[in-house]
Structure 1
């Protein structure tokens, strides 16, 4: 069904969502509004309609679409199934079967803890619901009192809004852990992308303690302390009656592998008595929480923070002198969204890195007059102009002095003042495009402009621009199928046809030397610059995927070629370490066919340029992602935000971090803070400790990065210590100690 916009702000108002009549509002929260709806046949449904601001967010819309697909796989007697949805509507919506009844949170807050038969049936119903959910290949991830409805014929588990499919699709909001801290598992804090069905068993244990006592096993005065207790401390079960206590103790084991399975739990709960056991007395005075004062989740479901009489066992728990949280815990619990950056730490027992917030770190060196800024990179296009496809070139910026020089589809080349974001000059208009600049040397910016016609391997222009004025200094026509490369003596390129190499004088564009493009492996050659020296890769021109890759070192003075050891077909050039070219080797020649951004690699290859000897350095285990070489370390960056650091010298894994920030750029390094910075497609920034991979901070995405965010690869560079990133159609700059993304002006 297509969606019909609804305007029903108050109960009793009328409207339609996807053909469902809206009868009234059931609740509302940060993510959307839940309405009571009725189908044409009279069936009642709960309609979850996404807020308008999220409907315009393609990142959120993609996630919502995946959520719906995951939730549709779940059906059972103790769940509320999805009956209809339209994630592509102007305002995405999802309809689930309406279940009349209070939430478990409301039932406990208003009627007190459950006991005896009522508690046993709740436990058995939840086990059966989780069994149905897990059989569908879904992990719920947010089992809490507000997501359990107490229907007349048994409990119903609802809201798979942040569930995670077992096939590891990313279904959480980028850059944040999702869940409700009192009912999350330790692994949701420490490694949220790796949670399994055992995480729901831990949440079930916390939920049943709450149902039986009116308080959770890890309750505290703040969500920060709650997160610490879940990860590091034992649950408070003194008021939990037997035999439930013995069962939930096993559910709340920190090690997910030691928790009982649902089949075993069903047997244990079935043996629980129908007679209510008295609650042990509270150990400390209680603090009252009036009924109806529960908090609300993202959809407006009531989430009780406790029962009618909540107890604090302050004398039984140790309050740490310095709070140490697991990975991303702060991001998970800053639910109000009052700040746009989130300092975090890892669950390895080390203190979180919050130097920038506390002022303990060195003050950043910024360009004179720097301020936070954002600049649109596009400009008006003449009506008769036709822009080329947005994903045909590699967009991004290079830094030189106190400026950045940016290029890409739809904005050609622009010089931007890194202190203010002011565009000093532009070259061309939006109907043209330029690759990310090759670099800046001695006052010239070198860029490659694609041909006017969209023809494969047509000639392109290699242009040198005056860095101060943007005026063209020289231009040469080169082969578009073989990207040029800067080296210490000039620019290495191939004339049209690709039968020879030509070295161009960097200042004038005139020929320095020419040499035939051929090796013992074939004549299908491409230029390459490694360690600021000219090289070439050559394959069989008729069958480039057969045999090995010829590797030539070209003399910078006259182009004389010297053939080095051939490379395997799996080799991907990364750069150089100590003057030696470095390559990453795919597991198989076709390993990148399905997803080149997440291809598996099994080894690193180093070439001695003096002896021509190739050395293979096997990785201890296969690593996936896009490899980037930076200061002797190879960082493999996966689309899901996992970053793996590999020592380029010996192939040892230094660390691996699941950052929860998807579609990341190549990293850049701050020597001031010994930190890595990344940007994602939507302008979200990420800072990792270079030595450990610990998340130092993340930011929210830009409020409007532009229409091309889905298709463009992001980039990030440093100008002194100022961070300059490109996402979509937008360049922006923040300071590392106050990384707040600037708003659209």
Structure 2
């Protein structure tokens, strides 16, 4: 739809291209960012701009939408709720709404209906896990994109632990898709209300009419509250699924986790087969390590893997995982609190969230032992690592399938002639660095949980010269030949997530269940930590830190209980860092999802003994090491939302002292950095990347900003450094290279994929295999190019 006379030419610096539509509250326009990414901008009508109650509700919408930017929602790119005319820009999702699709093509059925149901249940799961209730799920708020359904419009959503804002004298919502409690007591609705709405929407999708449709909205509302749903035209399998969701009593409805598990247990074509509880539901979880030596075998011929199944084997690329696969239900209080804690920690979910730096998932780099993450003095070229390309290298791009084929985002670690990657739907995959050829892939059988990603690689591969030594004098990975690949597996049952150790050929060494509160305590989901050949994690009961030798059989090398009345998470500044830490908090603060007084402790990597407690005042998060000192940043909150960062601290392990410094500009004025990528210590400096792509390089010892530059890459990830150059990537595959000394732009590449994802707290998407730049992007995409011949913009 063309722009009309009177429409603005630009909003917030984004040139407008077309009108997408208009409603009672505002107009939606199509625009583009500086990098060419399409965005939809909602501009609020003038008559509401002076209505403070409406502004408050719009602020809630922006806040909620930022938190739930995930695989099945539209990511927030920018917003100004305080402007003369408030506006919000989200990723543009191309496709018809569900209401348009039903109107033009009639009801859905078979695999199309099942895909819609699974996608919407996944969306609600992610929405609820960050403490938000949508409250207006209806066909016009579901866009059917090529990648799957997307939930939009959080205009009347609310935080689950906030009082609902209901505009005076109005019932807000759409009666045919509202829950009974929303019509009767709108201030008291919880996630169960969205489950009810989802069921009504699925009935509409399957039959073309809602279960409570009537001639007037008043009669419809009455029937929602008092009458039984009309389900006679609903297919039997779907009816068995939605009936419990339409219970009048919210407490009788299933959770979104339970609903998603039941959906995934249905036939792929949503056929008429009977519905029952998936096999293995409710089975007891064995918290002991599973040792799978010899239990499964695989052969690799010309890059193709053949399987001889063994017990408890996760599905591999091309394997049939069966129709009994289910999502992570009954995830237990630890993981459930960890997802709830994203609300307090303000780690917004995405299509794919946090991952690894060059050698592991840690935010900080071990600069002393890893030259890829250290400044190398004068660079040999404007964007050269000073290292050769892998033999036979040519630019390449691949897409790696995940366990449920849900768009994901991997993180990668080069080792020798290969690159190992992993993500929520992929335990690990091995790609040839020269041409990207997949050598093997181990897929995760369950639905990816946003925020759980690749752990890293321990040990050395042929051609590697690194000889890191573990505590006690054991070479890293010496208990097994070749490197050990460590990733996460999301089971297809009610079991907790697992950490999995694989050989370099993709054979499973061992696996173990995980617990703990890493997101709440450290600001990111890092349930397993790789440190000098050991895998550190919290036991499923959430009571102790355990260490397992990555290259061994997975048996517990040492186990150390938390101090009484506390919960802890292990933290390593890098996989080869000299020191290991624990971040702890009182159990009361963890249960309240409010960490006000975290406690820092050194951990002896030899036996897990905890050092003296170092109390920290305020929400501090570890982000790496500089000059042998631990660097932490202080979060700045706006209510329950993470607004950014205001201070930096360094902990000196030799003296036990903490030095705090406010962030200050070159003129000495205080600086408040807004939220964006994970703060990261790299090349000796602390780097903040804001959502709009602006980078601040800070001296961690003083808090002074060394330089600030615009990368031109919105939602850029944390950087990595090589050859005096900082590399930043985005979910679209766009990469920017900045000079590490002054932040000057060396080059920027074009986007590679159309990705709706954006990620608050994004860790580095770029790694380097010699001179080859390896980049992970949305949709399980990985590509490589020569650092000296980047695919720059025209």
Higher relative contact order (CA 8 A, sep 6+): 2
Give the TM-score, by structure 2 length.
Answer: 0.46
